[in-house]
Amino acid sequence: MEDLFAGVGERSTTDKLNEYQSVIAGLSDAQRRAVTHEDGPLIVLAGPGTGKTRAITSRVAHMIHERGIAKLVGQTQAARIHASTFHSLGLGIVRRFADLLGLPGDPMIMDSAQRNRLIRDIIRDERLYRKSLSTGISAAIDHARGTMESLRHLGMDAQAAQSWLDDARNDIGEYEQSDRDARSAELDRFADAIGVYGHFEQRTRELGWIVSDDLIMLPTKLIRENPMVASIVHHDFKHLVVDEFQDVNLGQIEMIRAICPPSDRADVCVVGDDDQSIYGFRGADDRAFAHFAGIWTHAQTVQLTTNYRSAEVIVEASNASIVRAQSRFAPDKEADAHRGDVEGSAIQLVKMDDDYRAGEAIASMLLDMASTGGEEFSFSSCAVIARSGAFLEQIAQNLLLEGIPIDMREKVSPMEDEGARDVFAWARLIVDPESAPNLQRVLTRPPYRVDPVKLNALFGSYRAARPRYEQ
């Protein structure tokens, strides 16, 4: 096997110095400040095209060359930078200290079907959600799972959630009488979810199973509660650089806090775009940078505002859009375009009464470009991007009607293959025999080919005959 690190340390000191200086030489002033900062926690605000990746890699090079890391751990070890996702890092810590968590050395990570089945068993065994099963147990499973995920994104285990619930019940007297009953019912439903959460944590530990969110919560809890683990982790991870920080949730911020406790000398650098937050649906906190600044109160901020990628008209439009945001971490931040004004670049905003006319408008614009562009114009130099495949298909039909040639480039998922979907349906059915959608697919596909209408009627009769609590 090839040693990827062979030869590391064999180059002369002069060669290493020249290589490092070439890395640093091409940086802008703002990038250089981000790279060479050594006075405690650092926030790097980096919008699109501002050289964020270059700043991160250069900072790592600077840490190795200028801050003595290679001298402390050896050149080969310094070259083995630990780069991972939060979950991958957490899995390494869980595996390393699995015995302290009561887990096997290589715990099994549950999939969604196993998780839902366990939640269903807990609800039935513990007789939870008794007041809200009018819509069947599936709705209770969805509520319990969603509540658990939200609590985990907030870094709260079942015990912490129960403490919050106790405080909320104590405060219920502050509500108007007309709202008190509704609030009480809401808290009762939340209590059922916490009940599921507590039993879920207990049963997964007994089975030696974990879910993906445990890879954030368990390392955090372990570092906080076990001084030996804390000492080892703090020694192993003295220098942290976190990319795409705008996409983290509170649980991940707490994990960073556990690994690199707040102080004026904490060597943690978070990098990201504070004006971007598109992963709220999976728990990302749009105030992540504000939370960081509130925890690491000595943090300094460097803004990378020069966009090296886009034309000036694009950057100006972006500035005009984001300035209208109600809340920004750095409200005065404004990007500038390194390329300046690029010939032919422009933005047109066309507001349509309905989506059906969008294809006509696009066709009209393309035909106008063709008539004014002369022989040098080619439709192949134009791209149309749509929000969905169905909308793109609609636009394509309009273009074809106008005689405009098209080349549809839609990435097809392997899961669109009927055979692959059949295999997954069988696999999911093996894991969860009560999964109605997968059973329906298996029965309506070869070799059974059950009539879908008759099958739906059969399922309806089955659901009506079962006790509602077991549905």
- DSSP string of 36-80? H--SS-EEEEE-TTS-HHHHHHHHHHHHHHHSSHHHHH-HHHHHS
Read off the DSSP letter of residue 434: T
- Give the pLDDT of residue 3: 41
pLDDT digits (tens, 9 = 90+) for 118-173: 999 999 999 999 887 777 788 899 999 999 999 999 889 999 999 999 999 998 88
Q: Find all residues with CB under 8 Å of 284, minimum gap 6, and list them.
A: 246, 247, 248, 249, 277, 278
Residues linked to residue 269 through DSSP beta bridges, in sequence order: 42, 241
Nearest to 269 by CA among 419, 60, 467: 60
- Give the pLDDT of residue 70: 53
* Burial of residue 33, with CB atoms counted within 10 A of its CB: 0-12 exposed, 13-18 middle, 19 or more buried: middle
* Burial of residue 308, with CB atoms counted within 10 A of its CB: 0-12 exposed, 13-18 middle, 19 or more buried: middle
* Burial of residue 154, with CB atoms counted within 10 A of its CB: 0-12 exposed, 13-18 middle, 19 or more buried: middle
Q: Find all residues with CB under 8 Å of 432, minimum gap 6, and list them.
A: 113, 114, 116, 117, 438
* Burial of residue 446, with CB atoms counted within 10 A of its CB: 0-12 exposed, 13-18 middle, 19 or more buried: exposed
φ and ψ of 67, to 5 deg: -110, 10
- Give the pLDDT of residue 158: 94
Residues linked to residue 44 through DSSP beta bridges, in sequence order: 271, 302
- Give the pLDDT of residue 137: 86
- Give the pLDDT of residue 12: 61
pLDDT along the chain (471 residues), means of 10: 44 66 84 92 94 91 72 51 90 94 89 90 92 80 94 91 94 84 90 96 92 94 95 93 94 96 94 88 86 96 94 92 91 90 82 86 93 88 88 90 87 75 88 81 88 82 64 50
Q: Cα 232–233–239 angle (5° rounding)?
A: 125
Cβ atoms within 10 A of the Cβ of 262, count?
17
- Give the pLDDT of residue 72: 45
Token pair listed for 208: 């030696």
Token pair listed for 240: 């942290």
| Cβ atoms of 110 and 442 closer than 8 Å | no
Instruction: Please state, in angstroms and rounded to a whole number, the distance separating the CA atoms of residues 45 and 322.
Output: 14
Q: Find all residues with CB under 8 Å of 302, minimum gap 6, and list them.
A: 30, 33, 34, 37, 42, 43, 44, 45
Cβ atoms within 10 A of the Cβ of 407, count?
8
pLDDT digits (tens, 9 = 90+) for 77-96: 555 678 899 999 999 999 99
